[in-house]
Amino acid sequence: SQVFLNGDYMPMADAKISPMDRGFLFGDGIYEVIPCYDKKLVGFKPHIARLTDGLAALEIANPYTEQQWRDICLTLADQNPEPNLGIYLHVSRGTDSKRYHAYPDDIKPTVYAFTFEVPTPPVADISKAKAYKVALEQDLRWQHCNIKSTALLGNVMHFQQGYKKGLNETILYNQQDEITEASSSNVFIVEGNTIKTPPLDNQLLPGITRLLVLKVLRQFSEFDVQEVTFTKETLLAADEVWITSSTKEIAPVIEVGGHAIGDGTIGKVWLAAQALFSQYKFEE
Ligand code: PMP
């Protein structure tokens, strides 16, 4: 496949990065994944706004304008013909001559972008939807989970805990038993006519799918949509649980930590939410 590295497009096999890159040595960088279906980007502006915020948090100068980022995404989509793509963008602090923790002030960021094929986006159809069974673990990551850092080992270890039990994701709770997010997704629950997701803070990533789902539900549905804290006991007693991410969209969860959610089947509110999301996701 064709990739982008530091201003040039090239076959992936030709993309070379120094082993002294701080992305490699420290995980010192920020990344994004933007879905692209038939060359249409989902949530492009908020994805780039989050990238900009993450770079500012690490004091890395954003190397490109929003328009330049859009050009990179669309050029990669042109050069990689698959209709359903994830576009991965990665900015590391760059390559230094030594390995030293302090930020060097004379290096240029390394910018790498590639595409990967994703499944066709989920359709609002209970008979075709993938029902997720997930693990439930205490969140043992760091306290800057709002930063989309390339240092993902905490997330990787939590994902692996579920994966080795044959599960597709791991939902996380903090020391107060409050749900934060999942290892690579945000979390929603449904109680009757109410849809809840944890409020944004340093314990979770401000997911773009989360943002778009909240927006679509508030604009086009009658559900009572709340950003509120809830505990793992509340989650286990909910009628429905969903996890959201750019590649999964809204994924229905039927089992958490070995407990069935609701009646153990995909819920009706999921169906309504995914139908609205499928219809309106390209708005931005
Ligand atoms: N939380 C974490 C920890 C993630 O890694 C991700 C993205 N994979 C999400 C939430 C969902 O974010 P988005 O909807 O922007 O993909």
Say if CB 180 and CB 145 are below 8 A apart: yes
Ligand 1, atom 8: nearest CA belongs to which residue? 184
3-state helix, strand, coil in the chain (%, to 5): 30, 30, 40
Interface pTM (ipTM) of the complex?
0.99
pTM value? 0.97
Count Cα atoms within 13 angstroms, Cβ side, for 115: 26
Ligand 1 atom closest to residue 50's alpha carbon, by position in its atom list: 15
- Which pLDDT value is given to residue 282? 79
Class of domain 132-283: alpha beta
- Which pLDDT value is given to residue 194? 98
Phi, psi of 134 (to 5 degrees): -130, 160
Q: Which positions of the chain have pLDDT values less than 70?
A: 283-284
Strands 249-256 and 240-245: antiparallel
In one-letter notation, the amino acid at residue 274 is Q
Sequence ranges of the domains in the chain:
2-117, 132-283
Q: Which residues line ligand 1 (CB under 6 A)?
A: 33, 155, 181, 184-186, 205, 207-210, 244-246
Q: Look up the CATH number of domain 2-117.
A: 3.30.470.10
Give 179-191 pLDDT, tens digit per residue. Answer: 999 999 999 999 9
- Which pLDDT value is given to residue 283? 67
Catalytic residue flag (residue 148) = yes
